[in-house]
């Protein structure tokens, strides 16, 4: 992808409960791979944007909620590549705009709001036809950027990661399941992949991930699961405990987190350590998926 990529460090996280349990915690700081197209979004957009440009598209259209990291990243990437960008946003416009949507509009993205009922029709041919009538030709990127091209990009990242560092588990936050599917596919059983759902009632995500893996490859992937108890109220919601964790990680460990995704992952991992979910002597790698602009929303 013709967007710059900065190699990212691996940070050791000295959590008291991990030290007590004899577990080594590392954090892959993918939040540092690009100023605005950060974390997993760089990898999910890599082949999507390359395909859009190769096919001669001048416009990319995508979907998401008002706090979508994907919308934020797509707006920045499209602006850099001199593409027109459109976001179909779930729900009514709320003023003042939050940081995510303010940034998207500053990048030149056209933000089009639809009702939640209409948004649920986003994958139907009828609704997509109406969008083409309204906006003309465009390259469509799904909500969260999750499609087979996104999984291809994340699988590439996973293979590189396995060459860079040795680990027994990799943990990551899960919203749509695309990044997790890519990690599972790329690692091919070399480590157990544990997803932390950021959605309330996120049990369905296991089916989403399994579905994407089946579409991506005939390989029967194992060694993965999704934990659904650490959503802290649901998507883009948080609790005082989560805010306290964010401050603790920032001041005590020099690790910035956002309340939508990465803080929920760290909270989940800390609890999993306490309940003995990781083998003594193992290395657990946390994937920092970026989205730090979420702390300003």
> In terms of DSSP bridges, do strands 169-174 and 283-287 run parallel, antiparallel, or are they unpaired?
parallel
The enclosing H or E element of 27 equals strand 24-28
Give the pLDDT band (50/70/90) at residue 297.
low
Tokens linked to 189? 């059983």
Ranges of each domain in the chain = 10-36+147-296, 40-145
Topology alike, domains 10-36+147-296 and 40-145: yes
Domain topology for 10-36+147-296: Rossmann fold (3.40.50)
> In terms of DSSP bridges, do strands 192-197 and 110-114 run parallel, antiparallel, or are they unpaired?
unpaired
Helix 240-253 vs helix 262-274: crossing angle, to nearest 10? 90
The tens digit of pLDDT for each residue in 85-106 reads 999 999 999 889 999 999 999 9
Dist CA 139 CA 48 (whole Å): 9
pLDDT exceeds 70 at position 296: no
Residue 51 has, within 13 A of its CA and on its CB side, a CA count of: 16
The tens digit of pLDDT for each residue in 165-187 reads 999 999 999 999 999 999 999 99
The enclosing H or E element of 205 equals helix 205-216
Look at phi and psi of residue 236 and say left if phi exceeds 0, alpha if psi is from -120 to 50, else beta. Answer: left
- Would you say the pTM of this structure is higher than 0.85? yes
Class of domain 40-145: alpha beta
The tens digit of pLDDT for each residue in 3-26 reads 899 999 999 999 999 999 999 999
Dist CA 93 CA 257 (whole Å): 26
- Write down the mean pLDDT value for the chain: 95
pLDDT at 213: 97
CA pseudo-torsion sign 97, 294, 201, 148: positive
If DSSP codes are grouped into helix, strand and coil, which group holds residue 289? Answer: coil
The tens digit of pLDDT for each residue in 227-249 reads 999 999 988 888 999 999 999 99
> Cβ of 122: how many Cβ atoms within 10 Å?
16
């Amino acid at each position: 992808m013709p967007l710059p990529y900065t190699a990212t460090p691996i940070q050791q996280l000295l959590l008291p409960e991990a030290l007590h349990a004899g577990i080594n915690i590392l954090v892959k700081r993918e939040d540092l791979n690009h100023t605005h197209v950060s974390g997993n979004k760089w990898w999910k957009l890599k082949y999507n944007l390359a395909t859009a440009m190769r096919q001669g598209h001048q416009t990319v259209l995508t979907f998401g909620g008002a706090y979508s990291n994907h919308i934020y990243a797509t707006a920045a990437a499209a602006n850099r590549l001199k593409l027109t960008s459109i976001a179909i946003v779930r729900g009514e416009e709320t003023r003042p705009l939050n940081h995510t949507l303010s940034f998207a509009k500053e990048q030149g993205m056209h933000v089009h709001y639809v009702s939640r009922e209409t948004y649920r029709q986003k994958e139907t041919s009828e609704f997509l036809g109406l969008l083409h009538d309204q906006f003309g030709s465009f390259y469509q990127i799904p909500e969260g950027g999750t499609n087979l091209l996104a999984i291809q990009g994340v699988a590439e990242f996973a293979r590189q990661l396995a060459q860079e560092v040795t680990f027994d588990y990799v943990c990551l936050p899960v919203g749509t399941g695309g990044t997790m599917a890519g990690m599972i596919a790329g690692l091919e059983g070399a480590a157990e992949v544990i997803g932390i759902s950021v959605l309330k009632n996120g049990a369905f995500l296991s089916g989403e991930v399994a579905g994407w893996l089946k579409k991506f490859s005939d390989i029967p992937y194992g060694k993965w699961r999704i934990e659904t108890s650490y959503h802290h109220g649901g998507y883009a919601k948080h609790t005082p405990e989560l805010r306290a964790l964010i401050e603790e990680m920032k001041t005590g460990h020099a690790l910035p987190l956002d309340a939508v995704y990465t803080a929920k992952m760290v909270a989940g991992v800390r609890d999993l350590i306490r309940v003995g979910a990781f083998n003594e002597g193992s290395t657990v790698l946390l994937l920092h998926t970026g989205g730090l602009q979420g702390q300003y929303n």
